[in-house]
Structure 1
Amino acid sequence: MTRPLPRTFLLLLAVVALVLAALWLRPAPDRAGKPANAIPVRVVSVVQQDVPRYLGAIGSVLSLHSVDVRPQVEGVLTQVLVKEGQWVKEGDLLATLDDRAIRANLDQARAQLGQTQAQLQVANVNLKRYQLLSTDDGVSKQTLDQQQALVNQLQATLKGNQAAIDNAAVQLSYTQIRSPVTGRVGIRNVDPGNLVRTSDTQSLFSVTQIDPIAVEFALPQQQLPTLQHLLKATTPAEVEAYLDADGERSLLGKGHLMLIDNQVSATTGTVRVKAEFDNQDGQLWPGQLVTVRLRTAVDEDALVVPPPVVQRSIDGHFVYRLDGDTVTSVPVKVLYQDSTLNIVAGVKAGDRLVLDGQSRLKPGSKVEVTPDAPAPAEMADRRSQP
């Protein structure tokens, strides 16, 4: 015989059944108040700002003046008056050579000049005497002509003596080697005490101008009209030089466009371009490879969006614009693009466009905006970085 269940147990079962029924019949909660079929997307607002356009290239830093200092006369290098790496000015004395032999030649030339001057003085006195005597046939015309020829010969010898003095003075000046430019002294190749000759293949050292300095780079020949327009502009086109290191760029200096080469390379189809930089802090160094950006134009009040916003179809470019909780496909025209932004036409400043999640969208799709989209100010900040 089965015993009946206690009344308390039956009441407990009834309560549990009522709770389960209430949970089963309650409608599912609407999470965050969004439709159950909404597609999560990220959005960004259209920004209106001035956008500079750039051309990029790899350039090489060049000195505007770099001189290999070599002797112009043969002699023993007696002194080197500058240190390696020292900054010097144009005209500073760098080194001296043994000048004793050249000084002796200069003294000899001066002595010969004095001797010729004395001979010419006597010849002129005799010439005047013969000219007076020739008026009453006191001397033959032949004798007078011979004396005149002697005076002319001594005058020519005098000019030769003076030229020899000038040449010896120039040779003497070569024994003092002075800096031809303002710049930095390089590594010394010859020590004092060595005999140096003009035929030596190795220079004493070099002097290289550092400030200002130039950067040379090449651009496609299709950019030649743009470059010519920039050269004719009243304001020089700005050029920036960056050093790429460990995946990051550091600005080395800002300069301006100086010139373009007078011909296009037939092998590469490029034209060489040179820019000049103020380099007081020495960030740019001759022979250094840098990344160059040439500013070609500035688009004022341009409508700017990140590159992922713009989609492409067989009909052209388009974007998804957020209208309430749905999206609309809007055709746009891409006016300019680079790795950081696109300049578009067809939308308005402040329009909210889909940045991520377009692959699941179609016109009229309901969307749920996620909060991790970049703000417009952040996009502008990234544009200012190299």
Structure 2
Amino acid sequence: MRRVDYYLTAVGRIRPGGNGSRLANGRRTAPALALAALLIGAALWRFFPGLFPQATQTAQPGARRPATPVAAEEARVEDFPVVLTGIGTVVPLATSIVKSQISGQLLEVNFVEGQMVKAGDLLAQVDARPYRHALAQNEAQLQRDLAILRNAERDLQRYRSVSSKVKYAVSTQQIDTQESLVSQYKGIVAIDEATVDAARLNVAYCRIMSLIDGRAGLRQVDPGNFVGPNDQNGVVVVTQLNPITVVFTIPENRLQPVLQRFRAGAKLGVAAFDHGHVVALAKGELFALDNQIDSSTGTVKLRARFANDDEKLYPNQFVNVDLVVETLRDAVTIPRAAVQGEAQNPFVFVIGPGDKVGVRRVTLGPSGDGRIVVEEGLKAKERVVTEGADNLRDGAVVSVPEPAPAGHEKRTTKSPAS
């Protein structure tokens, strides 16, 4: 009896099948098995190379690895400035809020906004008529009391004259009383004189003057308004712009070198830069140090003074500050990018004979402008790797591209118009 095989189709029907169906299934599974075997073999060769000794020994024992391309630069000897960088604010040496010292109506404003003024220049005037009348009244009171004083002094002189010629003609008590009366009148006259001086001062205060040299700001009050000594904004603010100062901070652990140099009388140069620390605004020198450290920030305030003749520094302006503490003479310096490793164990790759690199431990000093001082471990003219050090190891061979000839650079940078 013939045997009939059945298999399930994709739609669930049972169809008869024979040897031809088995052969078709075998042809479909053979490529999948071959691909799986290939992937397993590749994984074993990648992670277990010891299982394939012949494959790992295909390279020749004496073959040389290709040179690693790097960028290099020679260590050079130069004078290196030790610079401390801080953040500061422009602070004028003097700022005067010009106020009226008396109460009254403002009659005139005698300045232009933004004008440069000198100490003693007239800025505004207050109505002086009430104060002139008060002065005249006090002067009249002084004249009256002076007349009374002179009359009392003449009476006292007569009493003394009569007493000296005729004994017992004038009693001693009468002379003492007259002397006391003269002293009393002298006190009254002194009060009157002080009152007159105060009245004259009030009249002078009607002319509002500038007390410092500087630039006048915007007008705070218009003529016709009532002004007085209690006005918070005053009439105008005058600010001294030249010279001017910058107050900035440095960390407390950097204070001692600055303090030693400043107390020794050294003039420490200071440069002020813009927000991006790119454009130099002014150059000056360190002027003063604060007498205490800010415990909340761990910084100390310093003040630098600038001539500011071009007025590039403006009050309350934010600036970056570079303080030159000292200049190291004949220091060995390299690019900051050449230093590898951690801060506690820095090293550099030094290119030796045959373009082989060696690891060199170095002792670093101050840094700035992309360069750093090497105090120990490196000599001048030795080449160090500045780029491409990530894949290097001790003894590796490197290739350094030759710099372009000077004549070629000139030809490539030459302007077509020339």
TM-score with structure 1 setting the length:
0.83
1:89 aligned to which of 111, 115, 118: 118
Q: How does 1:150-189 map to 2 (within 5 A)?
A: 150-189=181-220
Structure of larger gyration radius? 2
Residue 204 of structure 2 aligns with an amino acid whose one-letter code is S
In structure 2, the residue corresponding to 1:123 is in which secondary structure? helix
Q: CA deviation at 1:323?
A: 2.1
1:60 corresponds to: 89
Q: CA deviation at 1:258?
A: 1.3
Residue 352 of structure 2 aligns with an amino acid whose one-letter code is L
Q: Does residue 1:330 correspond to 2:375, yes or no? A: no
Q: CA deviation at 1:340?
A: 0.5
**Of 288-297 and 193-202, the range deviating more from structure 2:** 193-202
In structure 1, the residue corresponding to 2:262 is in which secondary structure? helix
Residue 299 of structure 1 aligns with an amino acid whose one-letter code is L
Using the alignment, how far apart are the partners of 1:232 and 1:138 within structure 2?
A: 80
**Of 148-157 and 206-215, the range deviating more from structure 2:** 148-157
Q: How does 1:277-296 map to 2 (within 5 A)?
A: 277-296=306-325
2:127 aligned to which of 98, 109, 114: 98
Using the alignment, how far apart are the partners of 1:233 and 1:63 within structure 2?
A: 27
Q: CA deviation at 1:189?
A: 1.1
Q: CA deviation at 1:338?
A: 4.0
Percent identity between the two aligned chains: 36
Distance 1:356-1:92 versus aligned 2 partners, 3 A rule: same
1:267 aligned to which of 296, 308, 331: 296
CA contact (8 A) 2:96 2:211 kept: yes
Q: CA deviation at 1:131?
A: 0.9
1:142 corresponds to: 173
2:31 corresponds to: none
CA contact (8 A) 1:318 1:332 kept: yes
1:109 corresponds to: 138
CA contact (8 A) 1:256 1:275 kept: yes
Deviations 1:213-251 (A, max 9, x none): 111112222222223213213232111110025xx6111
Q: CA deviation at 1:43?
A: 1.4
Residue 44 of structure 1 aligns with an amino acid whose one-letter code is E
Q: CA deviation at 1:303?
A: 0.8
Residue 214 of structure 2 aligns with an amino acid whose one-letter code is G
1:359 aligned to which of 390, 394, 397: 390
Using the alignment, how far apart are the partners of 1:315 and 1:168 within structure 2?
A: 79
Q: How does 1:228-377 map to 2 (within 5 A)?
A: 228-245=259-276, 249-312=278-341, 316-338=346-368, 340-344=370-374, 345-371=376-402
Using the alignment, how far apart are the partners of 1:104 and 1:44 within structure 2?
A: 86
Where does the alignment leave 5 or more consecutive residues of structure 2 unmatched? Answer: 1-63, 407-418
Deviations 1:237-274 (A, max 9, x none): 111110025xx611110111111212111222221111
Using the alignment, how far apart are the partners of 2:134 and 2:398 within structure 1?
A: 98
1:212 aligned to which of 243, 246, 264: 243
Using the alignment, how far apart are the partners of 2:367 and 2:387 within structure 1?
A: 18
Using the alignment, how far apart are the partners of 1:367 and 1:267 within structure 2?
A: 51
How many residues are paired up?
Answer: 338
CA contact (8 A) 1:73 1:175 kept: yes
Distance 1:79-1:316 versus aligned 2 partners, 3 A rule: closer
Deviations 1:321-358 (A, max 9, x none): 23243223333221223461111132221122222222
2:58 corresponds to: none
Using the alignment, how far apart are the partners of 1:265 and 1:107 within structure 2?
A: 57
Using the alignment, how far apart are the partners of 2:391 and 2:162 within structure 1?
A: 126
TM-score with structure 2 setting the length:
0.77
In structure 1, the residue corresponding to 2:278 is in which secondary structure? strand
Distance 1:107-1:117 versus aligned 2 partners, 3 A rule: same
Deviations 1:22-44 (A, max 9, x none): xxxxxxxxxxxxx8822222111
In structure 2, the residue corresponding to 1:244 is in which secondary structure? coil
CA contact (8 A) 1:320 1:358 kept: no
In structure 2, the residue corresponding to 1:68 is in which secondary structure? strand
CA contact (8 A) 1:319 1:332 kept: no
**Of 124-133 and 177-186, the range deviating more from structure 2:** 124-133
Using the alignment, how far apart are the partners of 2:305 and 2:346 within structure 1?
A: 42
CA contact (8 A) 2:347 2:359 kept: no
1:46 aligned to which of 49, 71, 75: 75
Where does the alignment leave 5 or more consecutive residues of structure 1 unmatched? Answer: 1-34, 376-386
**Of 86-95 and 267-276, the range deviating more from structure 2:** 267-276
In structure 2, the residue corresponding to 1:241 is in which secondary structure? strand
In structure 1, the residue corresponding to 2:237 is in which secondary structure? strand
Using the alignment, how far apart are the partners of 2:95 and 2:346 within structure 1?
A: 54
CA contact (8 A) 1:321 1:330 kept: no
In structure 2, the residue corresponding to 1:200 is in which secondary structure? coil
Using the alignment, how far apart are the partners of 2:345 and 2:180 within structure 1?
A: 100
Deviations 1:58-91 (A, max 9, x none): 1111111001111100111111110110000111
